[in-house]
Amino acid sequence: MEGEEEARTRTERRLKKAAQVLFFRRHRAPGVKGWELKKALGDDYLEVLGVLDSVLDRLGMEVKRISEEGEERGEGGGEGEEQAARDRFMIVLKEPVIEKASGERIDDVAMLAATLAYIISKQGKAPRKAVEEFLGDKFPKQRVFFALDRYIRQGYLGEDENVLYIGWRTRAEVDRKSLVDLILSS
Amino acid sequence: MKFDELFRLIHFCKTIQKEGTDPFDLDVSMFLETLNRYYTKWKSLDDLLIDAEAIAELAKIIELQGKWIKDRASSFYIDPVLLELKLKMLDAQQLATAFLKSWHPLISVDRITPQRLKEGLDYWNALLPLSDRKEDFPLPATVDMTFNIEDLIALNILSTREFDESIQAVLTELEKRGRTEYHEFIYDATFEASIIKAYLTSYLVSEGKALLEINPLEDKVFIAPSTSGDVKGRTPGRSIPISLSYEDWLRWRERKKQGQGQNGD
């Protein structure tokens, strides 16, 4: 009986620790790497995260796992331990939010939405110049330039040799199919 | 002259891959015909290498064409022209609404903890005034090169004797302490002294006078003086990066202070 009680207390303690590590920001970029979670929670950290995920589910949140290349991992990951250690874990809202959930200006959100939709339609990557020209149709060039740099810093976009692509954070936060469908049906 | 056409085609293939433009813009049969036309004229190894590169680039484009067809056949395909047109028609409010409806924001909380504040305070206390840290912000060097120990000795910045004595002092300390956890060994009264000791220790390891043992399970590194047997059986070494952070050093100093306090009680 006592052993069972101890095991439950231990699980609860690790669950609390997992929630703290994932909720509180530790680095400039949000999210926590698998190896950090392993260090904090132990070798079976993926199981602990599974339990946390089911607890968060009742609160409308979920634990999301994204590879460094931006690829989303399904339930259980299905990948090796090494891959899991390199992946990034974070907590996201399960349902989309309608109310305001960020301090971004509406212009900036609109620009981000247009940029993502534009890049998605170009099979996931587009020359930065083309994106700047496209956004420049509605916003001053200077603002477009700084906005794109900010989206790159925030992880919504990636840039490689002047080519923009969908960043890891967009893959974690944005339902891309829904975004495009909503834009087409507006 | 004969290369111009091939170089142009290779460059075109690379542009398609880089910019994600329509891979069907490349006429594959014409590309192969061009290669076939030149095939009999190749004479040197360089000619054949260009030919191989062209084939390799063409293969990548054919792979992209396959992917392109798959994407178009999937339900996720959107006509870029139609979407672009739609994006231009929508106002900022409509775009932002569409984004918010498909957005599952990441949840993270920023909070300064008392421990982090204390670390900040320790850092502040240990930080020298800006006027004393001028050497931390040197003017840009006009010559872009690095100095090794021999250069420093040749410039009389460091003497061979001084350097050897420093190395010997570290070795004597290591022999006295025996096998020790690496950070426990190199951390000293100041962070600067710790860095110098780590630098000198790296020489001992490179020269085979000390051995590093890595225990991946415990995530610990140990250092021990070499025995004569170790030196004889030495295999070519490999570089082992070990991080030293100011914060870690502060934690070590704190632990040491606490240890001394308990011993004193």
pLDDT at residue A28, as a whole number? 73
B83 has a chain A CB within 8 A of its CB: yes
Q: Above 0.85 for ipTM, yes or no? A: no
* Chosen domain end from B25, B58, B73: B73
Structurally, how many domains does chain B consist of? 2
Smallest Cβ–Cβ distance between A180 and the set B83, B104, B107 belongs to B83
* Chosen domain end from A66, A93, A120: A93
For residue A30, is pLDDT > 50?
yes
> Cβ–Cβ of B88/A137 closer than 8 Å?
yes
B114 has a chain A CB within 8 A of its CB: no
Closest-CA residue to B214 (of B250, B232, B241): B241
Q: Percent of chain A at pLDDT above 70?
A: 89
> Cβ–Cβ of B78/A184 closer than 8 Å?
yes
* Chosen domain end from B14, B42, B73: B73
Contacts of B143 (CB under 8 A, 6+ apart): none
User: Could you tell me if residue A99 is inside a domain?
Assistant: no
Chain B residues with CB-CB distance to A96 below 8 A:
100-104
User: Could you tell me if residue B150 is inside a domain?
Assistant: yes
B232 has a chain A CB within 8 A of its CB: no
pLDDT at residue B265, as a whole number? 46
- A–B: how many Cβ contacts below 8 A? 143
Exposure of B143 in the CB half-sphere (CA atoms within 13 A): 3
Smallest Cβ–Cβ distance between B107 and the set A93, A109, A169 belongs to A93
pLDDT at residue A48, as a whole number? 92
* Band of residue B126 on the pLDDT scale cut at 50, 70, 90: confident
For residue B111, is pLDDT > 80?
no
Contacts of A80 (CB under 8 A, 6+ apart): none
Handedness of CA A172, A178, A182, A183 (dihedral sign): positive
User: Could you tell me if residue B22 is inside a domain?
Assistant: yes
User: Could you tell me if residue A135 is inside a domain?
Assistant: yes
Residues B155-188: tens digit of each pLDDT: 666 677 777 888 888 888 888 888 888 888 888 8
Stronger pLDDT, B151 or B193, i.e. the higher one:
B193
Smallest Cβ–Cβ distance between A161 and the set B18, B80, B106 belongs to B18
Q: CATH number for the domain including B164?
A: 1.10.10.580
- CA angle at B239 for the pair B238 and B244, rounded to the nearest 5°: 150
Same domain, A82 and A120: no
Domain limits at A177? 106-185
> Cβ–Cβ of B100/A179 closer than 8 Å?
no
Average pLDDT over residues A35-40: 91
Tokens in use for B225?
């003086």
* Band of residue B1 on the pLDDT scale cut at 50, 70, 90: very low
Same domain, B69 and B165: no
Smallest Cβ–Cβ distance between B93 and the set A25, A106, A124 belongs to A106
User: Could you tell me if residue B156 is inside a domain?
Assistant: yes
Average pLDDT over residues A135-159: 91
**Which range in B10-14, B16-20, B201-205, B230-234 is most confidently predicted, on average pLDDT?**
B10-14
Chain B residue with CA closest to A90: the answer is B106
User: Could you tell me if residue A26 is inside a domain?
Assistant: yes
Same domain, A80 and A136: no
B48 has a chain A CB within 8 A of its CB: no
- CA angle at A121 for the pair A117 and A123, rounded to the nearest 5°: 120
User: Could you tell me if residue A100 is inside a domain?
Assistant: no
Average pLDDT over residues B77-100: 87
Structurally, how many domains does chain A consist of? 2
Average pLDDT over residues B115-128: 77
How close, in Å, is residue A8 to chain B by CA atoms?
26
Same domain, B55 and B154: no
| A125-127 β-sheet, strand order | A125-127, A163-166, A157-160
Q: CATH number for the domain including A151?
A: 1.10.10.1210
Smallest Cβ–Cβ distance between B109 and the set A25, A114, A123 belongs to A25
Whole-prediction pTM value?
A: 0.54
pLDDT at residue A128, as a whole number? 93
For residue A148, is pLDDT > 60?
yes
B106 has a chain A CB within 8 A of its CB: yes
3-state SS, chain B, equals CHHHHHHHHHHHHHHHHHHCCCHHHCCHHHHHHHHHHHHCCCCCHHHHHHHHHHHHHHHHHHHHHHHHHHHHHCCCCCCHHHHHHHHHHCCHHHHHHHHHHCECCECCECCCCHHHHHHHHHHHHHCCCHHHHHHHCCCCCCCCCCCCHHHHHHCCCCCHHHHHHHHHHHHHHHHHHCCEEHHHHHCCCCHHHHHHHHHHHHHHHHCCCEEEEEECCCCEEEEEECCHHHHHCCCCCCCCCCCCCHHHHHHHHHHHHHHHHHHHC
Domain limits at B247? 145-231+240-256+259-263
Chain B residues with CB-CB distance to A61 below 8 A:
107
Average of per-residue pLDDT values in chain B: 79
User: Could you tell me if residue B186 is inside a domain?
Assistant: yes
